[in-house]
Amino acid sequence: MRLPKTASLLLVFALAKAAGLSGHHVPLSWWAPVAYLWQDAVVVLIFGALELCLSRRHGALWAAYAAFVLYTVINIPVERALSTPLTMPMWRAAGGALADSIWHYVTWQNALLVVSVALVAVMAPLVIRRRTQGAIVDRPNHFTSVGPDVSGPYEADGVAARHASPDSYRLRNDWSGPLAAALVICVALGPAACARVDTGGLERNAWATLITSALPHIPSRAATGDWRATNFDRTPYEDLSRFAGAGAGRNIVLVSLESTAAQYLGLYGAAPDVMPNLSELARAAIVFDNAYAVYPESIKGLFSILCSTYPAFDSGAEMYATVPCQSAAAVLSSNGYHTALFHSGRFMYLGMESVIRNRGFEALADAGDIGGHHNSSFGVDEPSTVARILSWIDQLPAGRPFFVAYLPIAGHHPYETPEPGPFPDRDEFGRYRNALHYGDASLGTLIRGIRARGLEQKTLWIVLGDHGEAFGQHEGNYGHTFQVYDENVRVPFLIAAPGLIRQQIRSRRVVSLIDTAPTLLNLAGVGAPASYQGRSMLDGAPRMALFFADYSSGMLGLRDGSRKFIHELDTGRSKLFDMDKDPGEKADLSARHLEQVRWYAQDLRDWSSAQKHLLRAAK
């Protein structure tokens, strides 16, 4: 074997792929091996060329081999947990605030897999070289004999070998040619195989993913249109316009619940009820059954909530500091409101400061300002944050209403709470439900604190989830940032105004968190800026909810009446679901509605390209 390290790298990739696929459903198909391995084959061929170029520079070659192997084994626990190798956005997010979440995956199983594959990577080049080294096939008339005659076609360390030209022999059992041919065939068939096998992104090589994730998912292109206008939904919805301006002069409390999907809450039919205080508040509230986050991650999602502007594909949070935005806080401040934002987490996480600074908040406080009784890498305990909010309210001068935004962290992975919860915590979902219950207790404390201050009948509540959380409902879907199924993006949304809204009103209209700011201002009787891309939820005209994810694969999605559509940019694959009949998104109807699928896909691509151009031009 002329390329022992290349062959070893192929073995390492195959073992890492097997480890990453463990526990996942692998479709049974003749195409499956090609579909899952073709990207590995691309990288192996590239490394093979590198090994040929560095054949005489052993130190550099070993360093390159070690780098390829090290990054591959690091990704094994990531792929097992999140069904994706590390991407560039994931690297940017892997800061100190996530230390507790990262440490959670340092298990003996993951350590054993990483060490085992690393040991194979160390031993394989030595074993392959030893088995093939020293066996030389004599080419007639090419050896210059200077010593005793050596009989036979093979010779290990004889004089002839020492005096032979490097080009005058080849190693016994040299499989380099057939191996290279097999890899080339695998690469050539790879795209066709992936079109036939839905790998869920698990075919990706760690190195290839790192490089491609740094490239744009979509082009930036100027375009205009009403991207949320539906061609299909004609459902008549209840009239909520009577509440426009009904909350004028009231205090406004906006609560953005962390990682809270609607489907896990008693308010939306789940049992047991993990958030009883939220359910109690909703007894006299407008409850939206089909509210969707714009983006399944907190920071850019917060930008859409405060500024009623879509974030853009392939953008870091830092760019939003210079995007023009009249946030809801800024508009209310200019209309006489005191404004503040309190976050149990840390503003430095993922560039959150770029979203909230200079957005009209008179007071800003995060975990570092609040302190608290329990600290984690992600933030502080919720009771301390609620106490700080109530203290701020107590210090306000009389005569002006206030707007306060409360951003808890309860519900974020690794779902730790200062004290045990009421639900079994043998698995992550149990710990997650306890975390939601813990956060709900502090929501109850805030509600009672407002009531104790005689402000209940003077306060308007908007409570929403910033995004959802997935626990494997769909293959490879864990956490929240990577996909756009309902567990990722469908969230609770309610409007409560004690004394004004006297009973629960359920609304099935499709709404988006981008509608939050114009809805809040509409309730308060304050005009919304013309720059807002959302519209008041009190407006009964049907509209679609648009959303996307770009942390791993590029994914676009929408909800249109009863229809839910998902489009994968990387593969071109689309899925269509009837949410009334199939709320679990299991039965793909895309093959039966090709015209609808084409229209949805084009609308989403045009919208995402136009939004990317709009925000870049606005900087």
Give the pLDDT of residue 509: 93
- Under DSSP, is residue 549 helix (H, G, I), strand (E, B) or coil? strand
CB contact burial 25-50 (16+ within 10 A = b; e otherwise) = ebeeeebbebbbbbbbbbbbbebbeb
* Confidence check: pLDDT of 558 > 50: yes
Instruction: Give CA separation, 613 vs 1, 163, 550, 568, 616, in Å.
Output: 51, 66, 16, 20, 5
Q: Return the bridge partners of 549, or none.
A: 555
What six digits make up the tokens of 500?
């004004």
pLDDT band at 150 (very low <50, low <70, confident <90, very high): very low
Task: Identify the pLDDT of residue 144.
Answer: 42
Burial of 114 (0-12, 13-18, 19+ CB in 10 A): buried
Write the DSSP assignment of 241-272 as a string of letters: GGGTTTTTT-EEEEEEETT--GGGSGGGT-SS
More confident position, 233 or 515: 515
pLDDT at 291: 98
First to last CA, the chain: 55
Among 619, 562, 61, smallest CA distance to 325 is for 619
**Is it the case that residue 152 has pLDDT exceeding 90?**
no
Poorest-pLDDT segment among 44-58, 111-125, 170-184, 547-561: 170-184
Q: Report the chain's mean pLDDT, rounded to a whole number.
A: 88
Residue 514: pLDDT over 60: yes
Tokens 């979203």 locate to 355
Query: At 470, which helix (H) or strand (E)?
Result: strand 470-471
| Domain ranges across the chain | 4-133+171-212, 241-618
Please compute Rg for the chain using Cα positions: 29
* Across 43-57, 149-163, 165-179, least confident range: 149-163
pLDDT digits (tens, 9 = 90+) for 390-420: 999 999 998 899 999 999 999 988 888 888 8
In CATH, the number for domain 241-618 is 3.40.720.10
* Res 360 pLDDT > 50: yes
How far apart (Å, rounded) are the C-alpha atoms in residues 162 and 170?
Answer: 14
Q: What is the pLDDT of residue 96?
A: 55
Three-class SS of residue 456?
helix
**Residue 187 has what pLDDT?**
92
Region of 80 please: left (phi>0), alpha (psi -120 to 50) or beta.
alpha
pLDDT of residue 174: 62
Q: CA 425 to CA 310: how far, in whole Å?
A: 37
Strand order through the sheet with 555-560: 545-549, 555-560, 563-568, 574-578
Residue 249 has pLDDT above 90, yes or no: yes
- The pair of three-digit structure tokens given for residue 535, joined into one six-digit string: 């519209």
Q: What are residue 401's phi and psi, to 5 degrees?
A: -75, 165
**How far is Cα of residue 124 from the mean position of the Cα atoms in its chain?**
36
Chain position carrying tokens 């300002």: 369
Confidence bin at 179 (pLDDT 50/70/90)? confident
**Sign of the torsion angle spanned by Cα atoms 303, 309, 315, 321:** negative
d(CA 580, CA 596): 17
186-209 pLDDT, tens digit each: 999 998 998 888 888 888 999 999
Q: How many residues does the chain have?
A: 619
Query: Which residues is 558 bridged to in the sheet?
Result: 546, 565
pTM, two decimals, is 0.88
pLDDT at 138 over 80: no
Quote the CA–CA distance of 101 and 84 in Å, as a whole number.
16
Which of 464-490 are b and which e, b meaning 16 or more Cβ less than 10 Å from the residue's Cβ? bbbbbbbeebbbbbbbbbbbbbbbbbb
In degrees rounded to 5, what are phi and psi of residue 559?
Answer: -120, 125
Q: Are 413 and 104 in contact (CB under 8 A)?
A: yes
